[in-house]
Structure 1
Amino acid sequence: MIGRLMTMTAQPGKGGELAAVLLEVAERLRGFPGCEIYLISQDAADPDTVRVTEVWQDETSARAALATPPRADGPSPADVLALLSSPPHRTDLTVLGGVGLPTADGRP
């Protein structure tokens, strides 16, 4: 499994709007093959900082999600980028396990 931590800084006062758009993205990924976790959170001390914690079965699954065209009724990558004050920061992770992730034998 692989993981990513995306840290995004919204334009001043737009953190709630950014979080709402990313929650729509998360809903679109519900049930997407290989997506284990797509968690949206807002920094308690700075609501204009929004983080996305991702866990994928493998890099191929993560790339497939990025390559999927946005739905006509949902947000596009451009919608997210328009709310940012700076480029997102990506941290790649090696996922070791934890609560909420399936075990090697497939148990949740």
Structure 2
Amino acid sequence: MDRPATAMWRPPRACDNYWEEFKHCKSWSNNFHHYYTYGTNPSCKQWKTDYNNCRQWEERRDTEAKEALLKSERDRVAEQRNFTPVWELRKEPPRDWHLPLNQEKPQDS
């Protein structure tokens, strides 16, 4: 079974997922939340571009569209790595993890 590598490649997400992300990005509730949080309206252009590139790949196997889609996904993942986690992740569980929790509240005198 010798198929070209391009025939085996699939987009990281289904094309409909890009369209749903675009619709969500343009929604009133998302715009309100984004404006309240960041003071600007969100840019939804990349989601639409990714959807179009995905469709071009599925319909015509356009390698430029494939490369653009891969670059966009890599950029998206790299951007997510820029955010520091709120909590420090544990390497191992606490020593007393197996003990029952102290459910008693201290009495105020």
Scaled by the length of structure 1, what TM-score is found? Answer: 0.28
Q: Which has the higher contact order (CA 8 A, sep 6+)?
A: 1
Between structures 1 and 2, the one with greater strand share:
1
With normalisation by structure 2, the TM-score equals 0.28
Task: Judging by fraction of residues, say which structure has more helix.
Answer: 2
